[in-house]
Amino acid sequence: MSTQECCAALAAAPLAADQAVELASVFKALGDPVRLRLLSMIASTEGGEVCVCELTPAFDLSQPTISHHLKLLRQAGLVDCVRRGTWVHYRALPATLDRLATVLRTPVAS
């Protein structure tokens, strides 16, 4: 699917079933407070990369749970990760966020 076809907004035309399935899977990834905070921590970091070792202690959750949420964010195409020695660094993929924002933005004129 083209990432940014014209007038992809929800309010522009009824969404096709297959597009709805794909979009919903990304929104579902955002539908959890822990994942939203993780994504926000990653996306708002100055250098653009955050070590998992900084993310995990920010929550009152076990390490496997955080790892699980990071995996879902990865599968949704919202973040990416790189191994640097023993550590793994995550960074945001802004294209996916922008796409969602475009989909949600109400058309200017009616």
Which residues of the shown chain bind a copy of itself in the complex (CB under 8 A)? Answer: 10-15, 17, 20-21, 23-25, 27-37, 39-41, 43-44, 92, 94, 97-98, 100-102, 104-106
Q: Which two tokens stand for residue 16?
A: 């096709």
Contact set for DNA, span 32-71 (CB under 7 A): 32, 34, 51-53, 56, 60-71
* CA 72/CA 47 separation, integer angstroms: 23
User: By C-beta, is 28 or 105 nearer to DNA?
Assistant: 28
Residue 39 and residue 92 in contact, taking contact as beta carbons nearer than 8 Å = yes
Q: In the 8-state DSSP scheme, what is residue 15?
A: P
* Total chain residues near DNA (CB under 7 A): 27
